[in-house]
Amino acid sequence: MTVRENNLHVYNSLTRSREKFEPLRPPHVGMYVCGPTVYGDAHLGHAKSYISFDVILRYLRHLGYEVRYVQNITDVGHLTDDADEGEDKVEKRARAERVHPMQVAEEFTRRYFEDMDRLNVLRPDISPRASGHIIEQIELVKRLLAGGHAYESGGSVYFDVASWPKYGKLSGRSVEEMQAGARVEVSAEKRHPADFALWKRAEPGHIMQWPSPWGMGYPGWHLECSAMSMKYLGESFDIHGGGLENQFPHHEDEIAQAEAATGKPFVKYWLHNNMVTVNGQKMGKSLGNFITLRDAFEKWDPMVIRMFILQSHYRSPLDFSDQALAAAKTGYESLVRMAEGIKKGLLPVQEDRRTPEAYETGSRMIEKIRRDFYEAMDDDFNTARALAQIFSLQGAAHIIRRLAEKSHDLLPLFWDTFKAMAGVLGLSLGKEESAGSKEGVTPALVHILIHLRNDARAAKDFAQADAIRKRLDEIGILLEDTPEGTKWRFK
């Protein structure tokens, strides 16, 4: 497959500018997105993040890029405190529930994927677990020690920010500022307050621990992303995504670890998504306005939530409210209704009619909307504008339908354009797309059944004829007896 000519520009957090998207090794694109720490259910903030990167993935693939998409699962090493103190989040939950930490990780990994499936988020090509890559992480620590960018202290190993002058280039912070801003008491083991743990000594009672050259311990949270992204995407790759709140220290530390070890640029484009607020307030467990996806699904169709999220740009914050969701629901339902109407118009193909003028008018209309859609997506994945084009197409549907009476090939063109656009945004519209009820139905077999039914009727076996009609109806096929014979269509 060749890459479609495009004018894609992305906003790169690293250079703080909009840049033309030019992957390192086209048509290949390596993309890494920080995945969840699996100690609780995914919430609306996760939905915004992973839907945003799902659309980016879908659009890149739509353009013809061969994307390898890696998203990690953090099952060890993510502490409750950013400054390398506090408890491991997964272990904390395991202790509360009196189960093994890996049980917590396994349960919430499964639940995470279930939630993402419902939101129509494509699964990553590789979902590496931190606990499954201890060897790679220890190797990276060894490289940093050998290069003089890390030091051991009391069984833990820290990254030495003073050894890496570029530290702070992503977040734009200086090491001096970090020192002044250090809000927690700095561990006596650290030479500098901004130094961060690569490897932590396991305290007594810590369950998830491994042998290392520095004694029993576990990896620091930031380390897994550098080690696993480079393992699967190479030492330099194209896109690294994640939430804005992780730009510092997490992503800053990822860059330092990778580049200090390899001497090569780590990531070409850093993309960051903004957060979800609830009724204008930051969402947080302590604020009591924390909405898990499971709770949200009770009230709203996952596709409505997806549509709502797509209504804003990924770099903008998004305010969740029942009103906003109700509006998204109305919009989504109108698209589903239109899609159903068009599909009905598509199916009974009788004689072919084609009036060139009607085709010309209709196809020009569709083409203009299609171009505007690509322009929106090329503009740093502007889903809000792209979605507006889907509604423009919906607005044009009645005109297209009228023109299609004179030119039958307009409806298939309209439908293909509509499906492609909805597909890029990952919007599933109606049963056919999700359940695939049309799949497995072969028209030739339906015709055989229609003949058998006609034979039964001719033999006055009406019970048998009715049974055939009923069974077809049950699998979504409607028979219509017309003067020209029996016709069939999907319900």
Q: Which is nearer to Zn ion, 171 or 392 (CB)?
A: 171
Q: Where are the alpha helices (DSSP H) in 427-461?
A: 431-435, 443-458
Q: Which is nearer to Zn ion, 225 or 335 (CB)?
A: 225
Interface with Zn ion: number of residues (CB under 5 A): 2
Task: Return the structure tokens found at 184.
Answer: 């927690």
| Whole-number Cα distances in Å, 490 to 116, 339, 430, 435 | 30, 14, 13, 14
Q: Which is nearer to Zn ion, 73 or 116 (CB)?
A: 73
For residue 349, the SS3 value is coil
Residue with tokens 């949200």: 296
Q: Which is nearer to Zn ion, 225 or 276 (CB)?
A: 225
Q: How far is the CB of 122 from Zn ion (least distance, A)?
A: 19
Give the integer Cα–Cα distance in Å for 429 and 408: 23
Q: Which is nearer to Zn ion, 225 or 421 (CB)?
A: 225
Binding piece for Zn ion, criterion CB under 5 A, among 5-13, 26-34, 75-83, 315-323: 26-34
Q: How far is the CB of 246 from Zn ion (least distance, A)?
A: 7
Binding piece for Zn ion, criterion CB under 5 A, among 33-41, 89-97, 270-278, 408-416: 33-41
Q: How far is the CB of 332 from Zn ion (least distance, A)?
A: 32
Pairing of strands 196-201, 156-159: antiparallel
Q: How far is the CB of 221 from Zn ion (least distance, A)?
A: 8
Q: Which helix (H) or strand (E) holds 9?
A: strand 9-12
Give the integer Cα–Cα distance in Å for 258 and 434: 41
Binding piece for Zn ion, criterion CB under 5 A, among 34-42, 282-290, 355-363, 440-448: 34-42
DSSP 100: -
Q: Which is nearer to Zn ion, 245 or 466 (CB)?
A: 245
E-only strand ranges, 279-344: 281-282, 318-320
Question: Could you say which residues in the range 221-240 bind Zn ion, by CB under 5 A?
Answer: 225
Q: How far is the CB of 37 from Zn ion (least distance, A)?
A: 10
Q: How far is the CB of 250 from Zn ion (least distance, A)?
A: 6
CA-nearest of 344, 349, 350, 345 to 491 is 344
Binding piece for Zn ion, criterion CB under 5 A, among 28-36, 266-274, 395-403, 418-426: 28-36
Among 14, 34, 105, 328, binds Zn ion (CB under 5 A): 34
Q: Which is nearer to Zn ion, 34 or 450 (CB)?
A: 34
Give the integer Cα–Cα distance in Å for 103 and 83: 26
Respond yes or no on whether the N-terminal peptide bond of residue 27 is cis (omega within 30° of 0): yes
Q: How far is the CB of 444 from Zn ion (least distance, A)?
A: 52
Q: How far is the CB of 155 from Zn ion (least distance, A)?
A: 24
Binding piece for Zn ion, criterion CB under 5 A, among 18-26, 27-35, 44-52, 369-377: 27-35
Give the integer Cα–Cα distance in Å for 169 and 249: 11
Q: Which is nearer to Zn ion, 225 or 233 (CB)?
A: 225
Q: Which is nearer to Zn ion, 217 or 242 (CB)?
A: 242
Question: Could you say which residues in the range 172-231 bind Zn ion, by CB under 5 A?
Answer: 225
DSSP 67: E
- Those residues with Cβ within 8 angstroms of residue 113's Cβ, 6 or more apart along the chain or in another chain: 123
Residue with tokens 């084009």: 389
Q: Which amino acid is located at 388 in the chain?
A: A
Compute how many other C-beta atoms are within 10 angstroms of the C-beta atom of residue 267.
26
Q: How far is the CB of 163 from Zn ion (least distance, A)?
A: 22
Residues engaged in binding Zn ion (CB under 5 A): 34, 225
